[in-house]
Structure 1
């Protein structure tokens, strides 16, 4: 029987498994790529986390350093102010002005205060005479005890920086700068933090002093604070880091979003898209850079033009002041000079009264012009001080003598009291010292109806300062006006200028002159009883000059204005001198060739050859004529023309209009001047 063969047939279960394997084979082929991508992106995420921690450390360190530098700069400024010599000298008014300048340079500060253990001595938030808060408000006892600077905690929204002030090696005061805590945010903002980050400046109690960044983060997120320098996880998927600020008890806390896998993947996609736009971006950037470069060049050009325009305006302003000074003072020279001569002539009573009125009007106009020009030069810092020996009691008597007639007209007694211990001869600028004293005495007479005006001077011990005071029995100054009495264009009342006259610049000029001398000026007053103005300047001993010689001189006058020429001749001839007058520089040189002279007075602004040219030509002459003393006559400010006068060979500068006694005093000073001191111009001016 034949055998039948039946072919083998696979089972249905095996066929389904194979079919599924074939269908899943593309997915199985992709699985390694997916696994590689997952591992790759996880690695990227870990790398991003490491970079984030590095960025946190770098940002926190930068913010901490920025705050440290800000605090160190503020403490340095305070320590520099604490070393002011005015504190060592006890000149608190001058120190207050110095502190006010520092406060103006740092607008973020709220106030500056000088504090003793039990009281505040100065607080720039309050006026000079206002009652000050207790010293305990500024918590300075620790600084006074340890002698070390300290940085305070948050108190009423403010932070105090304190430094010790040593007087004679002992901590006497604490100097305190109070600033709003939010002002510290400027230090954080200058460095900047990335978008979405947060940065807090916290004190030792965890209170927020300042905040920066765009991420909204409450201060409670750092309670309890993580260890300094270690990155810690915070609420809301953030990483945080705390770093202390050196020299303080503060910390900088920085927080950043931690990120995720999706964020990392998105970033890589953005990188791919960014590469496609790189070429276009580069071209756009080049174009923008070129435009910015052109804008920067245009800005620099405009800034240069603006600077040149400001310089031109300053030159025009200086030229205007010089022109005003010359054009007003030149006619005033003749007016006041001839009025002075006329007042000494035999006149009917009515005519003499008119002449006296003319003298007072001319002197008032001269004072007004002098105040305006002096204040302008003081504002520009163009006034230099002379250093000469001066007889202080005689100077005070001279100032009182000038104004004694005015005081007698009002029935006032004008008394000069010099302390027996006051040295007679000191070193200083006699012109500017006379200007300050005369201004204070004139004000006292002006505002006093009855009683007396007293000028007193003494030498204060430890430190040695010359104190000059002017007291009166006038109406006094209201307490609310006293702190502003030395401001420009400020007077004691709205009707003061109308009733008594004046420019409102006299006391402002006095304060600037005293400050330039290294001193300080102040005032105290009781309404209804009188006022006392006093200033102190450093004491420097002087020496008496050699005795003056007498006798007539042969004087050459060169002046192109006929009225001024005749006036000079009349004044000098009345003093007993022999005068030869010429109207220009060429004739003056011709006169010198034909005769010998003991002194030459010449105007600087003559037609043809001016005074500078004549002086240079005289110094080139042979023999004794080349050494004749030369005096420059000018209506310009002497300190502005002295370098050129010195170069031309002048010995002195006399400002017009001049007083007779000043002219004759200058002549006496030059005739006794040692030969080695010639050709060094002395600043002699009419007040």
Structure 2
């Protein structure tokens, strides 16, 4: 038994050794063959051998056979297990292989994309006209594009790895090291003139930092663009600007000189014409004198337009905000234009909305200028009918709207589109007929725009035009003359030749609380008087060619308390006696001020004695000026003999004593000899001008005060033909107190003189008033 087991063990070891040298597939086939062979052998033996033979098989051999069968079975099972495990491993390896192959394909695809992207980027960089370069921290170039190579005439192989050395122009500092890109300032820009293959060229550089993977400072990339043409253009523009500034300065000097040289003789012409009209003249002589004055005033208007346009074009137009009454403003403009309108046989009507009657803060002078321009044009281009001037709130009440409507020639749609352009008139034939520079409307538009408003026109050819403009404003108090509810319940009939006047008079009366009605002709007026109980009638002298005295007499016969006020033009003052004889209780001069209308109506209804009733201020034409009770002693420094004669006559008529000198030096000598209440100082004089003379006077006053002997500050008024913006301030800065322009306006001169009376100790300086 022991020998048999030993034999089996040796046989099994040999079998395992042999199996270990074989492949798995061979082992499987061997096991299968052994199992089949053993199985067949055992089967044959068991079937064919006799029982005795079987029983005769020794025990060890049976055990060996059984063991062999068991070993073969166990080996077979183990082999199957290993085979299954091997297949599992092979499947895993296949998956890993597939994944690896997919990863390799993806990497290859990305690599191809990166190569393509790099090619595109390099193509873009090389196609750029801008110079692009990169340099390391030590200044060595790591990249340059084709443009760099072309501009500097090098190849990449020559410069890559070399330190950057670009020659800057000796006059150009380039980009200082202090402004090199850094962490705090990662990007800088600068212009630099550098030497290139084509010579000195201007480049605009932009340098910025490219950070490394750690976020630190890596390379610096510079992009440069050739701006030589731009620099040349800028130089040309600077030269053109300097030339334009010089030209503008020359134009300003020319205009100032023109203003002075033209205004000086014009002062004499207008002043002497005014003095002549104050004398006793025959009607023919008075007509000629008026023509001289009107021609001079027209020339002065042209000069003023040119000067204003020059101020606007040079940007020196200054606006000042002062409180004024819009109603009083439009009424004064209408009064100013009334004589011209009366000469043409047309009427001017004015209406101020009650909400526009409050005082406002705006530039009164500029508003007046625009209004005179528009209303003056309306009178000029209207041959029949009349002109209506209206002021009223606009929109939400933050703007004031002024309207000037006429019944003149009208303007076509095509002409309206360019009517506010410079030197443009609606029709060249109108320019020949009516005259004018074509600057008025252009100036008005620019002035209104400068004030923050708008201007426009509405017109129908053959029927008339309406020009309007708006300005922003601030409230500055109530109107100086309020007419609210002063005629509550009074019934008034208004009969006028021009419907515009009648309409506006009715509005003004209704604003004061009256029940007012308008009649367009004499028949309508008589019908109204017969059918209604009116207490007052306001009427033109003539209605439709017929006098109103008959209708007035019949109305008074029906009601002895009935009152009537006649409307007259300034030229009809001579008929006042006739008006009184025909039963009129009072008169009003057209254009009628609202305050005068209501005041006169209230007095007439109350039976208060009449005080004259004129709605315009000032003395009658040709009348002597009232003499002041105590005159001033005036020193006048003026080198033009005509101006001296004119001013001397005006001042003497006003009751003042006048001494004259011819320059500033003589003025100083005269002041050292005698005290004066006022100095009229011309600015431009020979030997010593008015500015220097004034400065010396002020220094002498200051020196006297320091010595403990303070002297009275003598008022000095500039008298100059200069009317450019800034001339006034120059005079005030020199120490003058006021400013008068030539030609001398008697009313302006009178207003200046009223401010200074003998014994004045403290004067309000125009520096503070301005």
- Smaller-chain TM-score bracket: 0.5 to 0.7
Matched, 1:610 2:683: no
1:51 to 113, 118, 124: 118
Q: Which residue of 2 aligns with 1:629?
A: 715
- CA–CA distance in structure 1, aligned partners of residues 645 and 711 of structure 2: 25
Matched, 1:487 2:421: yes
Q: Match of 1:221?
A: none
Considering only CA atoms, is the larger Rg found in Structure 1 or Structure 2? 2
1:565 corresponding residue in structure 2? 644
What TM-score, normalized by structure 1, do the two folds share?
0.56
User: For 2:735 and 2:345, how far apart are their aligned partners in 1?
Assistant: 49
Which residue, 716, 724, 742 being the options, matches 1:656? 742
Structure 1 match to 2:363:
429
Q: Which residue is 1:313 aligned to?
A: 247
Q: 1:344 aligns with which of 243, 256, 278?
A: 278
Structure 1 residue 49: deviation in Å?
Answer: 2.0
- What is the 5 A alignment of 1:339-488? 339-460=273-394, 462-488=396-422
Give per-residue Cα distances to partners, 1:485-542, cap 9 Å, x unaligned.
Answer: 1111111112111010000000111111112222221111122222111211122233
Is 1:597–1:625's contact at 8 Å kept on the other side of the alignment? no
Q: Does 1:529 align with 2:596?
A: no
Q: Which shifted more, 669-678 or 392-401?
A: 669-678
| Alpha-carbon shift at residue 272 of structure 1 (Å) | 12
Runs (5+) with no aligned partner, structure 2: 1-107, 130-152, 168-193, 204-227, 481-627
Query: Do residues 500 (structure 1) and 587 (structure 2) align?
Result: no
Q: How far is 1:637 from its partner?
A: 2.7
Residue 157 of structure 2 corresponds to 275
Moved more, 537-546 or 612-621: 537-546
Q: Tell me, what secondary structure is at the counterpart of 1:542?
A: strand
Query: In 1, Cα distance between the equivalents of 2:245 and 2:418?
Result: 32
Q: Given the alignment of the two structures, is residue 580 of structure 1 paired with residue 673 of structure 2, yes or no?
A: no
What secondary structure does 1:316 align onto? helix
CA distance in structure 1 between the partners assigned to 2:768 and 2:298 by the alignment: 28
CA contact (8 A) 1:645 1:681 kept: no
**CA deviation string 1:352-386 (max 9, x = no partner):** 22212212211111111111121111111112123
Partner of 1:596: 675
Instruction: Say if 1:458 and 1:42 are closer, same or farther in 2 by CA, change over 3 A.
Output: closer
Match for 2:197 among 266, 280, 288?
Answer: 288
- Kindly report which structure 2 residues correspond to 1:56-67, keeping only aligned pairs within 5 A, or say none: none
Decide whether aligned partners of structure 1 residues 480 and 640 sit closer, same or farther in structure 2, where only a CA change above 3 A counts: same
Residue pair 1:448, 1:473 contacting (<8 A) in 2 also:
yes
What CA distance in whole angstroms lies between the structure 2 residues aligned with 1:570 and 1:397?
Answer: 31
Q: Is the 8 A contact 2:632 2:757 kept in 1?
A: no
C-alpha RMSD of the superposition:
3.9
2:747 and 2:354 map into 1 onto residues whose CA distance is 28
Q: Who is 1:134 aligned against?
A: none
Counterpart residue number, 2:453: 519
Cα deviation, residue 347, structure 1: 1.5
Q: CA deviation at 1:460?
A: 3.7
Following superposition, the deviation at residue 592 of structure 1 comes to 2.1
Secondary structure of 1:680 counterpart: helix
Query: The residue matched to 1:667 in structure 2 has which SS?
Result: helix
**Distance in 2 between the 1:674 and 1:477 partners?**
58
Tell me: CA distance 1:338–1:288, structure 2 relative to 1, closer, same or farther (3 Å).
farther
Q: What is the alpha-carbon distance in structure 1 between the residues aligned to residue 757 and residue 336 of structure 2?
A: 25
Q: Classify the secondary structure of the residue corresponding to 2:348.
A: strand
1:675 and 1:525 map into 2 onto residues whose CA distance is: 55
Structure 1 residues 176-224: Cα deviation after superposition (integer angstroms, max 9, x where no partner): xxxxxxxxxxxxxxxxx97599xxxxxxxxxxxxxxxxxxxxxxxxxxx
Cα distance, 1:551 vs structure 2: 5.2
Greater shift in the superposed pair: 395-404 or 315-324: 395-404
1:445–1:453 contact (8 Å) kept in structure 2: yes
Deviation at residue 431 of structure 1 after TM alignment? 2.4
Taking the TM superposition and a 5 Å limit, the aligned residue runs for 1:74-93 are none
| Number of the residue aligned with 1:165 | none
Residue 424 to residue 50, structure 1, CA distance change in 2 (3 Å): closer
* Partner of residue 333 from structure 1, selected from 262, 267, 271: 267
Asked if the contact 2:715/2:736 (under 8 Å) is kept, the reply is yes
Change (3 A) 1:643 1:359: closer
- 1:412 deviation in Å? 0.7
Alpha carbons 2:715, 2:763 under 8 Å: kept: no
Q: Mapping of 1:21-60 within 5 angstroms?
A: 47-51=114-118
Distance across 2 between alignment mates of 1:577 and 1:392: 35
In the TM superposition, residue 42 of structure 1 has moved relative to its aligned partner by: 11
1:564–1:526 Cα change, 3 Å:
same
After TM superposition, give the deviation of residue 644 of structure 1 in Å.
2.2
Instruction: Compute the displacement of 1:411 (Å).
Output: 0.5
For residues 608 and 669 of structure 1, the distance between their equivalents in structure 2, rounded to whole angstroms, comes to 30
2:133 aligned residue: none
Over 3 Å counting, the alpha-carbon distance change for 1:536 and 1:608 in structure 2 is same
CA drift of 1:397 comes to 2.7
Cα distance in 2 for residues equivalent to 1:522 and 1:597? 52
Q: Distance in 2 between matches of 1:638 and 1:372?
A: 10
Offset at 1:307?
Answer: 4.4
Q: Is the 8 A contact 1:425 1:544 kept in 2?
A: yes
**TM-superposed deviation, 1:605:** 0.6
Superposition pairs of residues 125-136 of structure 1, within 5 angstroms:
none
Task: Provide the C-alpha distance between the structure 1 equivalents of 2:239 and 2:332, rounded to a whole number of angstroms.
Answer: 52
State the shift of 1:406 in Å. 0.9
- 1:106-165 CA distances to partner (integer Å, 9 max, x unpaired)? xxxxxxxxxxxxxxxxxxxxxxxxxxxxxxxxxxxxxxxxxxxxxxxxxxxxxxxxxxxx
Q: Contact 1:600–1:630 at 8 Å: present in 2 too? A: yes
Secondary structure in 1 matching 2:685 = coil
Q: Is the 8 A contact 2:311 2:725 kept in 1?
A: no
Contact 1:651/1:682 (8 A) holds in 2: no
Cα contact 1:596–1:625 (8 A) shared by 2: no
Whether 1:640 and 2:726 are equivalent positions in the alignment is yes
- Secondary structure of 1:433's counterpart equals helix
- 1:65-118 CA distance string (max 9 Å, x none): xxxxxxxxxxxxxxxxxxxxxxxxxxxxxxxxxxxxxxxxxxxxxxxxxxxxxx
The yes-or-no answer on 1:552 pairing with 2:631 is yes
CA distance in 1, matches of 2:711, 2:288: 45
Q: Measured at CA, do residues 554 and 357 of structure 1 come closer, stay the same or move farther in structure 2, by a change above 3 Å?
A: same
Report the 3-state secondary structure (helix = DSSP H, G, I; strand = E; otherwise coil) of the residue aligned with 2:411. Answer: coil
- Equivalents in 2 of 1:292, 1:336: separation in Å? 65
Deviation of 1:328 (Å): 1.2
CA distance in 1, matches of 2:653, 2:477: 32
Measure, in 2, the Cα distance between the counterparts of 1:668 and 1:396: 26
Q: Secondary structure at the match of 2:280?
A: coil
- Size of the aligned set, in residue pairs, is 432
What is the deviation of 1:443?
A: 0.5
Q: How far did 1:338 drift?
A: 0.7
Residue aligning to 1:666: 752
Does residue 678 (structure 1) correspond to residue 765 (structure 2)? The answer is: yes
Stretch of structure 1 that moved more, 482-491 or 673-682? 673-682
Q: Secondary structure at the match of 1:353?
A: helix
Q: Give 3-state SS (helix, strand or coil) of 1:457's partner.
A: strand
Structure having greater relative contact order (Cα 8 Å, sep ≥ 6): 1
Distance 1:599 1:480, change over 3 A: same
Query: Structure 1 residues 462-471 or 622-631, which shifts more?
Result: 622-631
Please list the CA deviations of residues 380-415 of structure 1 after superposition, one character each: whole Å capped at 9, or x if unmatched. Answer: 111212332334333323222222111111101112
- Using the alignment, how far apart are the partners of 2:201 and 2:121 within structure 1? 33
